[in-house]
C-alpha cells in the first residue's frame, strides 16, 4: 500500500500535523463507460458504526444483567409472598378446624338441651293432665259430698217426721192442727220413698 493507493484510508500524519486533504481517488473506469467527473460515488464510513455497536452490546449486557437481577429479586419476593400466604392458609385451616369442633360441640349440647326440653315438656304435660284429673276428681267428690249431705238432711227430716208421727199416734194429747195422722203418714211415705229412690239412683250413677 502506497500513498497513492491506500485503499481509501488516509495516512496518519505525525503528531501535531493536521490531516491533509486528500485528492479524490477514483477507480479506473471500465471501457465504454463515460467518465463522470463531477459526481463521484460516496464511500461508506464504517468507523462510527463500530463505535455504536460496542456501546449497544454493553447496554444490552447491562439490561440483561439488570433483568436477571430483577428476576432473581422478583422470584425471591414471590417465594416470600407464597410462604406468607401458605402460613396464613395453615393458620386459617387450624382456626377452621377449631371452629368446626366448637360448632360440633355446640350442636351436640343444643341437641342434648332440646332432648331434655322435650322430656321436660312431656313430663309437664303429664303432670298437667294429672293435676287436671285430680282437680276434676276432687270437684266431683265435692259435688257428690254436697248431694250426699242433701240426701242426709232429707233423710234426717224424714226420720224426724216419722218420729213425730209416732209421737202423735202414741200420745193422745198430741195432734196435727191442720192435718190428720193418716194424711201426714201418706205425705211422709211419698217424701221418704222419693228420697230413697233418688239416693239409689245416685248410687247406681256412681257405680256402687
Q: Which stretches of the chain bind another protein, using CB under 8 A?
A: 52-53, 56, 59-60, 63, 67, 70, 74, 77-78, 80-81, 84-85, 88, 91-92, 95, 99, 102, 124-125, 127-128, 131-136, 138-140, 142-143, 146-147, 150
34, 46 contact by CB (below 8 A): no
Greatest Cα-to-Cα distance within the chain, rounded to the nearest angstrom: 204
Based on CB atoms, which residue is closest to another protein, 6 or 128? Answer: 128
CB of 102 to another protein, least distance (A): 8
Based on CB atoms, which residue is closest to another protein, 74 or 206? Answer: 74
DSSP letter at 172? Answer: T
E-only strand ranges, 108-158: none
**Can you read off the three cell numbers belonging to residue 111?**
341437641
Task: Compute CA 49 distance to the chain's CA centroid, rounded to the nearest angstrom.
Answer: 74
Based on CB atoms, which residue is closest to another protein, 59 or 152? Answer: 59
CB of 162 to another protein, least distance (A): 21
Task: Compute CA 11 distance to the chain's CA centroid, rounded to the nearest angstrom.
Answer: 94
Closest C-alpha to 161, from 138, 139, 183: 183
CB of 139 to another protein, least distance (A): 5
CA dist 140 and 133 (Å) reads 10
Based on CB atoms, which residue is closest to another protein, 45 or 53? Answer: 53
CB of 41 to another protein, least distance (A): 24
Based on CB atoms, which residue is closest to another protein, 151 or 162? Answer: 151
**Can you read off the three cell numbers belonging to residue 159?**
226420720
CB of 44 to another protein, least distance (A): 15
Amino acid at each position: 500500500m502506497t500513498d497513492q493507493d491506500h485503499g481509501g484510508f488516509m495516512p496518519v500524519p505525525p503528531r501535531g500535523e493536521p490531516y491533509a486533504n486528500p485528492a479524490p481517488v477514483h477507480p479506473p473506469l471500465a471501457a465504454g463507460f463515460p467518465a463522470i467527473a463531477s459526481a463521484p460515488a460516496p464511500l461508506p464510513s464504517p468507523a462510527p458504526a463500530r463505535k455504536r455497536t460496542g456501546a449497544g452490546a454493553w447496554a444490552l449486557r447491562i439490561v440483561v444483567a439488570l433483568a436477571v437481577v430483577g428476576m432473581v429479586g422478583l422470584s425471591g419476593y414471590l417465594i416470600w409472598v407464597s410462604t406468607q400466604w401458605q402460613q396464613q392458609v395453615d393458620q386459617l385451616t387450624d382456626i377452621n378446624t377449631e371452629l368446626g369442633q366448637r360448632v360440633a360441640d355446640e350442636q351436640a349440647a343444643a341437641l342434648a338441651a332440646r332432648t331434655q326440653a322435650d322430656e321436660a315438656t312431656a313430663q309437664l304435660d303429664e303432670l298437667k293432665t294429672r293435676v287436671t284429673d285430680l282437680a276434676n276428681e276432687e270437684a266431683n267428690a265435692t259435688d257428690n259430698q254436697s248431694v250426699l249431705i242433701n240426701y242426709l238432711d232429707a233423710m234426717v227430716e224424714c226420720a224426724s217426721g216419722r218420729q213425730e208421727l209416732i209421737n202423735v199416734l202414741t200420745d193422745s194429747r198430741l195432734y196435727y192442727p191442720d192435718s190428720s195422722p193418716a194424711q201426714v203418714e201418706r205425705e211422709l211415705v211419698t217424701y221418704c220413698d222419693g228420697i230413697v229412690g233418688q239416693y239409689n239412683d245416685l248410687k247406681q250413677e256412681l257405680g256402687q
